[in-house]
Each structure stands twice: as C-alpha cells, then as structure tokens.
Amino acid sequence: MLTCTACREEFATYELQKEHFKLDWHRYNLKRKVVGLPPVTLLQFQARKSEGASALAAVPQEAPVPMSFKCLNCSKSFTNTKALENHKATKKHQSAVKKDGEEKITSKVLETKNDAEVEEAEEEEDPDANISLKIEDCMFCPHASETLEANLIHMQKTHGFFVPDLEYLQDLEGFITYLVEKVKLGHYCLYCNGKGKVFRTYQDAQKHMIDRSHCKLIYEEDNDLYEYEEFYDFTSSYEQPDGQEWEDVEEIEVEDGDEDDEDEDELAHIKTISISETGEMVLPNGTRLGQREYRRYYKQRHRPDDVRECVLAQTKERLLLAYQMAGIDASSTAITISFANKFLNRRQGNMESRTIQEAISVRHKFQKHRERLEVRSHKLQKHPNRRNLVTV
C-alpha cells in the first residue's frame, strides 16, 4: 500500500500516487506541513479555494502603474520594485550607502503608450524602412553615383565587381535592382548566397563581402544559375556561323534492342559509383567512403619498411649470423667479422669488447638498480631504528 504523509492518503497503485503529487491540494498540504500545521481534506481545500477566488473577484483590481527606479548610490536603474528590493539587499549597495551616508533612490512614473503609438514607434524603429534602393548607389559601400554606368565603373574599380556575360544580359537595370534588394533587404552575401553566415543588417553583409573579397557573383557552371535566368537571353549564342540555319533531321526507327545498345554505349564512358572488394564505396573522382564500424582500421598509419641499403645489409647479416649460430651452413654468403664479433660479445656480456658509450650505459643502469635496492632496504635512513619499522 502506497501512502502520502503530507495529505495522509493511501493509494492502491503507483500511478495514482504519481497523479496525486501533481495536485494543488498536495502542494498546499506540503506548505502546511513545513510550518507545522495539520493537513486539510480535499473538500476543505476546494472550499477554501473557491472562497479565495470569490474574494479576489470582489476586490476591484487596478491596472499596475509602470514605474522606474534609480539608485543614485550605485548608478543603476530598475523597472520594478522586486528588482529594487533585491538590489537593496546586496552588500555592494549597503557599502555604497555607508560611504555616502544616506540612501538615495528616485522614482518616476512611465508614460503608457496606446497600440497605435506603439505601432508607429515600431515602424520608426524599422531599420529597413529608410534604406535607399537606388541602382545609382553602390551595393558594397555608401558611395552614390550620378548614373548607373558610373556606379558600375566605381564597383569594378573599387570592389572588383563585374556583370558576367554582359553581351547576353537583356535587363541591366532589373538585374542590378535585384542584386541591391538581395543585399540591402535580404542581408545576403552575393558569393555565399545564403550558405554561409547570417547577417542581421545589410551593413554587416557589406563588411563581410569587402573583408572576404566576396564582391562578386557565384556564376559558375557547377552551381545553380536559374536565379539569374530571367535577366539573360542566350539564344543568340545558339545560331550557326556564316548565316547557316539548322537542318531538320529525319527520325529513323530503331528497334528496342538497338536502342538499349546505343544507350549502353553512351553510358559506358560515364564514371559511376562502384563498390570495392572490401565493401567501400568508390566515387567517380576516386574518393573512397568506408563503413563506420571499420574506422579504427582507417585511422591506422603503418610505418613503411626501411629500404635503405645499409639497413637491408645489416638485416641480412643478422639473419646469416642467426643461421650460423643455429648450425645452418651459410658459407655461400659473406658475413663481416666485426658485426659477428659485436653480436657475440653483446650476447655473452663481454665487458672488454664494449665501446665507451655502451660501458657508460651499462654502468648507469647498474647504479640506478643499486640505488633502488638501497632505498627499498632503507640503507639511506639516518636513524637506525627506522629500519625495523618498515618491511620490504
């Protein structure tokens, strides 16, 4: 059986208890329990709630008067009394009051605005309301020219902007107007074209285009050029040279099998995506896309084999020496005597045949091992009785 200690109720299932914890009645009894009062029943709670609601409805509620407060001691302003009271409780305000000798707080009533006045203020604050969209104004700076041609010359010399395929452009003024609205109203970068950073004002977009050298159109074959299609007319480029006209070609009926063969021949030279033997996807440009579960193998960077002649010769001598020590006849291949002697001396631990560097290294390792043993056995402790306290 599940219970609620605050309301003194019992529940048959966990779901009923969980729903009970969401009730206002439970919250009310929790607050009474904190101050040491007994809980009330559900009927008593509903009766008190209805009485409180009727009392609030009977009292006329006046609209709150907007006020603003300013603390002269701390030079801070507040828009409501709660924020002011919280500020008064801070140590910084109290220390400022002690320093000035008295608390200085002023208040004033804020003027209320009608809905019409608020709408007018919003229209006045609209940053795009007073933007000049003249085609004689530069798209990248505040410079203003007298004519469109002068503006184009300025943008080309100062910012490097030019109109691509000008000989096929049919509506120059409409094209420039579209670009001006795109920059100043849409806050777009002409080159990023909405794929990069988002700008809050057109000044930010202009600054970005100047800083990044993006004062140009993304006018390339690989990109989508349908955006400027209505301003261009490329039909003149399709005409035949020397006044020749297009000739009508008679259609030849071809069987279905022949059509399939022709389609296969046409698609034979086109590179497509393929799957390798290891399950990787090979793109037309040669890039391989592997599976995510094999990424730990893709991250491996194996050390390439050293193919220098000196390294190969040394490896060969070691193998031949190993053959000789194992009793295998390797007389057909010559082994240098110096390498064999050094190898055998290291294996047998001969001190006389060691070099000075090897002897120093062995002596250093032996001394380090001896110091480790002395520390473990407490040979370095000055007090003799401490040796018996610690066992190794």
pLDDT, tens only, 341-366:
566 566 555 555 567 777 788 888 88
198 located within any domain: yes
For residue 23, what are the CA distances in angstroms to 11, 17, 65? 14, 10, 34
Tokens, residue 367:
């001394």
The distance from CA 202 to its chain's CA centroid, rounded to whole angstroms, is: 24
**Taking a C-beta distance cutoff of 8 angstroms, is the pair 181, 128 a contact?**
no
Q: Are residues 175 and 214 in the same domain?
A: yes
Residues 310, 302: Cα–Cα separation, whole Å: 22
Residues 344, 322: Cα–Cα separation, whole Å: 11
Reported residue count of the chain is: 392
User: Is 166's pLDDT higher than 50?
Assistant: yes
Q: Are residues 33 and 99 in the same domain?
A: no
Q: What is the pLDDT of residue 83?
A: 87
Average pLDDT (261-289) is: 76
Q: What is the pLDDT of residue 242?
A: 55
Boundaries of domain holding 206: 148-234
**Final residue belonging to a domain, choices 31, 54, 77:** 54
Residue with tokens 């009292």: 59
Q: Are residues 225 and 162 in the same domain?
A: yes
Q: Give phi and psi for 288, each to the nearest 5.
A: -110, 135
Domains in the chain, number: 3
Q: Are residues 198 and 227 in the same domain?
A: yes
Tokens, residue 286:
């040669």
361 located within any domain: no
Q: Which pTM value belongs to this model? A: 0.36
Percent of the chain at pLDDT above 90? 4
Q: Are residues 76 and 19 in the same domain?
A: no
- Residues 181-240: pLDDT tens digits? 988 888 888 888 877 778 888 889 899 999 888 888 887 765 656 788 888 887 777 665
- Residues 24-59: pLDDT tens digits? 999 999 999 888 889 999 999 999 888 888 887 777
Q: Are residues 90 and 33 in the same domain?
A: no
Q: What is the pLDDT of residue 316?
A: 76
Q: Are residues 14 and 74 in the same domain?
A: no
pLDDT band at 79 (very low <50, low <70, confident <90, very high): confident
Q: What is the pLDDT of residue 103?
A: 87
Q: Are residues 87 and 20 in the same domain?
A: no
User: Is 333's pLDDT higher than 50?
Assistant: no
172 located within any domain: yes
269 located within any domain: no
Mean pLDDT across the chain, nearest whole number?
78
Return contacts of 170-176, CB within 8 angstroms, 24+ apart: 170/231, 170/232, 170/233, 171/230, 171/231, 172/148, 173/135, 173/148, 174/231, 175/228, 175/231, 176/135, 176/148, 176/151, 176/152
